[in-house]
Amino acid sequence: MKNALGQSQTIVLLGGNSDIGVAIVRAAVTPFTRQVVLACRDTARGEAVAATLRSEQLAVAVEAFEGGEPAGHEAFVAGLAERFGNLDLVIVAYGLLGDAEVTRTDVAAAVALAQVNFTGTVGAIVAVGNQLVRQGSGSLVVLSSVAGERVRAANPVYGGTKAGIDGFCQGYGDWLAPQGVHLLLVRPGFVHSAMTQGMKAAPFATSPEKVAEVTIKGLRARRRMVWAPPILRVVFSVLRHVPGPVWRRLPLG
């Protein structure tokens, strides 16, 4: 249950090994927070992350979670609520970047990526939304990407899944709002993280900590969408209107 200042007692991270997700958790934890749940596929890595978060005041649990298997998401989220009480803040931060050279032409690889990034993510979001509606309160943060604002040829399957999640969350967030649930959509640009290690940084590259800072400000202001860094909102207000022939020639990766 959140306190009068909106501080979360229980925080859940779906994608417990996500660099950005963990940074958001760190930024969201206050002296009022009592429980963090890291839900992830690789629980050994999750335990290593949990060890950096635990304190005498803060309990951190690591739970096995398969983002690409939505059939189990409803029961998983309900089980968390049964064990830990109201889920005050849930962050959905898992996904795969994929190898664009493969996913552009390999049907199985493209479908596998879409299963995790779109189908599985929609399942998780709806499962969490159902729980927060039952509670009548709570905040849901979903990591999208500027890659979904206008999908590039460089990685169309990844960008397409982000475009789908982005559009879904805008409508779903409108449905949740009258029921006392806040959905914040986060659109990061290129983030220096384990996912992007070895890749050439795009303009306006940022860090997980900076994304977390923007996210927390958005939560406090009850924003529906934030860009990280904020300048990308201005950049894409122009790029989304660039004619197709020009867009295809832009050196955007």
Please identify every residue annotated as catalytic: 158
36 phi/psi in degrees, rounded to 5:
-120, 140
CA pair distance 34, 51, nearest whole angstrom: 15
Query: H-type helices in the chain, by residue range?
Result: 19-28, 43-53, 73-84, 100-103, 107-114, 121-135, 156-176, 208-220, 231-239, 244-247
Q: Which of 130, 152, 128 is nearest to 141 (CA)?
A: 128
Residue 68 β-bridge partners: none
The C-alpha angle 152, 154, 124, rounded to 5 degrees, equals 70
Residue 60 β-bridge partners: 36
CA pair distance 187, 142, nearest whole angstrom: 9
CA pair distance 142, 9, nearest whole angstrom: 19
Tokens of 218: 């958005």
Which are the contacts of 244, defined by CB distance < 8 A and separation ≥ 6? none
